[in-house]
Amino acid sequence: MEKEKRRVGLVTCGVLMGLVLSALDQTIVSTAMPTITKELGGLSLYSWVFAIYMLTSTTSMPIYGKMADLFGARKMYLIGLFVFLLGSLLCGMANSMTGLIAARGVQGLGAGALMPVAFIIVGELYPPEKRGKFQGLFGAVFAMTSIFGPSLGGMIVEHLPWGWIFFINLPIGIVAFLIIALAFRDQRHYDKKSVIDWYGAISLSAAIILILLSLVMEGREYKIGLGGAGTLFLGLFIWIETKAKEPLLPLSLFRIPAIGYGNLAGFFVSAALFGAIAYVPLFVQGVRGASPSEAGFLLVPLMLSAAISSTIGGRWMAKASFRAILIPSLLIMATGFFLLSTMDGETTNAQLVIYMIVTGLGMGAIYPALGTAAHSAVKPEDRGVAMSTSQLFRSIGGTIGVSVFGSIVEWRMRAGLVFSEALHDVFITGLILIGISLIASVRLGNTRLLDKEPRHSHSTNSGVPKQ
């Protein structure tokens, strides 16, 4: 018994280390990019260092999730971690902006496995009553990494060659790889004769890439053309999934409220959160005249309060329904967004800190609750696709949010508004998106972590969890 506890603890540490890599890489690069661009040149390609990572990681998420269902979480996690570490090595060795972009694409291909497959592993390690607590722990780790990532990136480029912002992944990742490889074993049998839905994978990948490209490319004609092509591929993907023997993303899963409505809630809250919060540092620097480091420190209260509420929410999952956690969290987050919408040139740092704390307290428990709801709503053979789909909707929601809010700011400032007034419209739009997420959360019903078996699989026609 003691040996088994040690093994579970080891695997948990390995998964947490992988989560740190996934979260850290999204923040540590941002503060280092000006230095990298200065050394490598290629300022016109600046945004592609971020965009290519987003494209490849988002596209690979549902593929890793389905492959984990077919061939095991351990194998897919190790493959994803290996590819991520290879990409990190190539990024650190890049001697041109083009080479860095290509390496970031490889890194993103591996990153697509780190978060969704990690949650599958946790589901195999822990019984339902303990999963919520560890989802909350994961949320806290993600928030804390988001706090220290930008500062760490700045310190590295000040004192070491910039390649170390990528090389730092290697010792952490190698230890995590060895731990998972040696200590974790999949707990169920996998069908070696499973058929891979390659047509579904190709059409979904094309749809995601084209739609996301339409958001980051300049020029109206490019946006319309790429968006239209992406929509056509999305329609093709849906048709393929209705015919596939072993669909990449079983459409009947969306009949389960925890999947269908949960993904809608995750999409809209991510659009609001990532789209709007991105403008807080810009407000602090552009309107208040603060330095970049001061602007970064003002995000610390947001992440610390999110870490606290994430931990508390994780513990409450064993006692309350997911809806009972999501509704108050979204209401608190909406209050924070309303407060942020009142910012102007007279807003003090103390007021900003309060606004960020309120917003963080609301957002902290939302993602752990949505992830655990998706994981718990299906049978073990569908957990990979359920978790990866949840991550996919959040990622695309955040990307679309950033693009939409950027357009709102540009449109309102062209109409003659100052930046703080345009920002008011951004947060009001965010409030509307949070409201849509709130409605979707209400539709989850009384689904909770400790419902009795049987769980739902895509072969079930009813698709309605226990109420």
- Asked if 395 contacts 112 with a C-beta cutoff of 8 angstroms, the reply is no
- Same domain, yes or no, for 177 and 46? yes
Distance CA 272, CA 260 (A): 19
Residue count (the chain):
467
Domain assignment of residue 191, yes or no: no
Residue ranges making up the domain that contains 204: 197-245
Mapping DSSP onto H, E and C, the string for 350-419 reads HHHHHHHHHHHHHHCCHHHHHHHHHHHCECHHHHHHHHHHHHHHHHHHHHHHHHHHHHHHHHHHHCCCCH
Question: How many folded domains does the chain comprise?
Answer: 3
In the block, tokens 């959040």 appear at 394
CA distance 459 to 438: 29
- Answer yes or no: do 325 and 212 share one domain: no
Collapsed DSSP state (helix, strand, coil) of residue 448: strand
- Walk along the chain (467 residues) and give the pLDDT tens digit of each residue: 677 778 888 888 888 888 888 878 777 786 677 778 888 877 667 667 877 888 888 888 888 888 888 888 889 999 999 999 999 999 999 988 889 989 998 999 999 888 888 888 887 787 766 766 666 677 777 767 766 776 777 778 778 888 898 999 999 999 999 999 988 887 666 555 667 788 888 898 888 888 878 876 767 777 788 889 999 999 999 999 898 888 888 888 888 988 999 999 999 999 898 777 777 777 776 677 766 556 667 777 887 888 888 888 877 887 888 899 999 999 999 999 999 989 887 888 888 889 989 998 998 889 888 888 888 888 877 878 888 888 889 888 887 887 788 778 878 888 877 777 888 888 999 999 999 999 999 988 777 765 544 444 444 333 333 33
The verdict on 237 and 254 lying in the same domain is no
**Rounded distance between C-alpha atoms, residue 114 and residue 77, angstroms:** 6
140 and 18 in one domain? yes
Residue 241 and residue 253 in one domain: no
Nearest to 401 by CA among 270, 302, 282: 270
Asked whether residue 459 is domain-assigned, the answer is no
Q: Where are the alpha helices (DSSP H) in 188-299?
A: 198-216, 220-243, 257-277, 279-286, 292-297
When computed from its CA atoms, the radius of gyration of the chain, rounded to whole angstroms, is 21
Q: Is the dihedral of CA 163, 166, 172, 175 positive or negative?
A: negative
Q: Which of 229, 245, 261 is the last residue of a domain?
A: 245
Same domain, 201 and 345: no
Query: Has residue 232 been placed in a domain?
Result: yes
Six-digit token string for 377:
């709503």
CATH number at residue 13: 1.20.1250.20
Residue 467 in domain: no
455 in a structural domain: no
Do 272 and 418 share a domain, yes or no? yes
Q: Are residues 241 and 280 in the same domain?
A: no
Same domain, 222 and 292: no
Six token digits for residue 395: 């990622």
- Mark whether 27 and 147 lie in a shared domain: yes
Tell me the one-letter amino acid at 203: S
* 35 part of a folded domain: yes
Domain assignment of residue 453, yes or no: no
